[in-house]
A and B are shown apart, each in its own frame.
Chain A
Amino acid sequence: MAHISIENLTVEFAVFGANSRSLKNQILSQATGGRVMSGIRDVVTVRAIDGLNFEINDGDRVGLIGHNGSGKTTLLRVIAGIYKPSGGALTIEGRVGALLDPTAGMDAESTGIENIYLRGYMLGMGRREIASKLDEIADFAELGDFIELPMRTYSAGMFARLAFAVSTAAQKDILLIDEGIGAGDAGFRKKAQQRIESLFDRTPIVILASHSESLISEFCSRRVLMQHGVLQSAS
């Protein structure tokens, strides 16, 4: 059973000024007893997530909403394991898949097939798993013979379709999606919609951060509103 339990979670960023990120300035400051380059130790701390308590159970479709900078993406990154929390506890049961950047890992000089592998590895798939899904992904992306060509020869639409096809092929217990996913022209959009639905159906927990009301109301069973890193309301 997939499960996420968040207790009193706090994430703090140290915001360095340009001066405090320079070794030369730090040495200069030390050598002059702080008279030159004063203020170098001034590191501002920003609390991106502040005392968050939340439980997510198997079958939940969580829609994360809130203004820019409210901590949505930061929360997804913490659950993905990218940011280590500075306080509180986070317990995760199940394998986490992150679709924070649907194109991460892809390389323009490599062919479509190579890119399916590259992107697949980034999603935590093994060589065998990718090989078994290769045909299905290539079919879905509608690239035809282009799949054998370097990706730099692709149009923007072809590139987006390929990235989408691989990203949605992953089989995970917990899926984190930032700003929705989708690709292509009108004809493809319908296919994409079905593929997202089937992905959601086979994934026990989905957390979707988005500004789009329609997307959230269509796909999500729970709504979580965040404001300045604090949980405002949850249903």
Chain B
Amino acid sequence: MDTAGVPRRPAAVSTIGAWSVLADVVHGHNGRDLGYRVLESFPAGYPETLPYIATGIIFWGLLTGCINEGATVFISAEAFIRNVPTPLSLHFYRMMARNVMIWCFNMAIYVVILIYFELLPGWNMLLFIPGFLLFLINVAWISLAAGVLSTRDRDIPQIIANLIQVVFFLTPIFWSPANLPSRPAFVTLNPFYHLIEVVRAPLLGVAPPWMSWVLCMGMAVAGLGFTAYLYRRAHSRIAYWV
């Protein structure tokens, strides 16, 4: 019964997620430490920084939400999978739909910020549509692959959760590579940077670099192929593994 995962429950809880992180940045977290330093690292100050960080957090939340929940998507639906003959992909689609709904709530932050700072992203904003599509496709294959592998080897969800924390610091969310003297390899070769860039940049009125487009498309094709192969191979075993 508790495996139902109807959107209502998690949505009601986690709409606060991105909002509270944002509040930390503005008011300062732990005695104004984090928030202050983050803002100081941006010479432009609030009007440029806040929209950048807020949009970044919103999409980072969607990305990590899907991957972390994706890792346990079959494991947590165990009772369900063993008793109800439904396609396995159902559990995956439910997880994705739930996270996209939560993201929709969080996008209210973006709208508020646009209005408050009187920002007008312009026509570049339309690039968000293909960008978000690419973003979702990539997040989807990573999540499904994580789900299949985690069902076989049960320590993978923890490994993924730890990796994501490390990647968070290497990915420009709270900081901008524009403020670094040169662009380090962990940014240019960081797939998560490019994934965030194709959605964040259009929403801030900037066209994402062509390099990000190419990498995201390449990842989508290679990743979908890999996950399709993995899923086909493991598909009939998942009911036994859960």
Q: Which of B5, B85, B155 contacts A98 (CB 8 A)?
A: B85
- A101:B84 contact, CB within 8 angstroms: yes
A21-67 interface with B by 8 A CB criterion: 21-26
Asked if A14 is an interface residue, CB under 8 A from chain B, the answer is yes
Q: Which of A26, A107, A118 has the most CB of B within 10 A?
A: A107
Asked if A1 is an interface residue, CB under 8 A from chain B, the answer is no
Asked if A189 is an interface residue, CB under 8 A from chain B, the answer is no
Across-interface contacts of B236 in A (CB, < 8 A): 84
- B85:A118 contact, CB within 8 angstroms: no
Asked if B2 is an interface residue, CB under 8 A from chain A, the answer is yes
How would residues 85 to 105 of chain A score, 1 for a CB under 8 Å from any chain B CB and 0 otherwise?
000000000001010110111
- A100:B84 contact, CB within 8 angstroms: yes
Across-interface contacts of B183 in A (CB, < 8 A): none
Q: Closest CB-CB distance, B83 to chain A, in whole Å?
A: 4
CA A25 – CA B4 in complex, angstroms?
33
| Interface range, A side | 20 to 34
B1-20 interface with A by 8 A CB criterion: 1-6, 8-9
Q: Which of B1, B79, B81 contacts A107 (CB 8 A)?
A: B1
CA A108 – CA B79 in complex, angstroms?
16
Asked if A130 is an interface residue, CB under 8 A from chain B, the answer is no
CA A110 – CA B2 in complex, angstroms?
12
CA A212 – CA B8 in complex, angstroms?
40
Give B156's nearest chain A residue, CB to CB.
A23
B139-193 interface with A by 8 A CB criterion: 149, 152-156, 159
Give A102's nearest chain B residue, CB to CB.
B83
Q: Closest CB-CB distance, B208 to chain A, in whole Å?
A: 34
Across-interface contacts of A96 in B (CB, < 8 A): 85
Q: Which of A21, A77, A110 contacts B153 (CB 8 A)?
A: A21
Asked if B80 is an interface residue, CB under 8 A from chain A, the answer is yes
| Interface range, B side | 20 to 34
Q: Which of A81, A101, A104 has the most CB of B within 10 A?
A: A104
A82 touching B154 in the complex, CB below 8 Å, given contacts A104-B1, A109-B9, A110-B8: no
- B85:A104 contact, CB within 8 angstroms: no
Across-interface contacts of B137 in A (CB, < 8 A): none
- B79:A118 contact, CB within 8 angstroms: no
- B153:A98 contact, CB within 8 angstroms: no
CA A108 – CA B4 in complex, angstroms?
9
- B79:A104 contact, CB within 8 angstroms: yes
Asked if A147 is an interface residue, CB under 8 A from chain B, the answer is no
- B240:A22 contact, CB within 8 angstroms: no
A149-173 interface with B by 8 A CB criterion: none
CA A80 – CA B83 in complex, angstroms?
9
- A82:B85 contact, CB within 8 angstroms: yes
Q: Closest CB-CB distance, A198 to chain B, in whole Å?
A: 23
Asked if A143 is an interface residue, CB under 8 A from chain B, the answer is no
Q: Which of A81, A101, A108, A118 contacts B83 (CB 8 A)?
A: A101
- A105:B84 contact, CB within 8 angstroms: yes
Q: Which of A13, A26, A106 contacts B1 (CB 8 A)?
A: A106
CA A83 – CA B4 in complex, angstroms?
21
- B239:A104 contact, CB within 8 angstroms: no
Q: Which of B8, B80, B153 has the most CB of A within 10 A?
A: B153
Asked if A122 is an interface residue, CB under 8 A from chain B, the answer is yes
CA A26 – CA B149 in complex, angstroms?
13
Closest 9 CB pairs of A and B: A101-B83, A107-B4, A84-B236, A100-B83, A23-B153, A80-B85, A107-B6, A22-B155, A104-B84
Extra contacts besides A23-B153, A122-B86 (7): CB < 8 Å: A82-B82, A82-B239, A100-B82, A101-B84, A105-B80, A107-B5, A107-B9
11 A-B interface contacts by CB (under 8 A): A14-B240, A21-B152, A98-B83, A101-B79, A104-B79, A104-B83, A105-B4, A107-B1, A107-B6, A109-B9, A122-B84
A residues apposed to B, CB below 8 Å: 13-14, 21-26, 77, 80-84, 96, 98, 100-101, 103-110, 118, 122
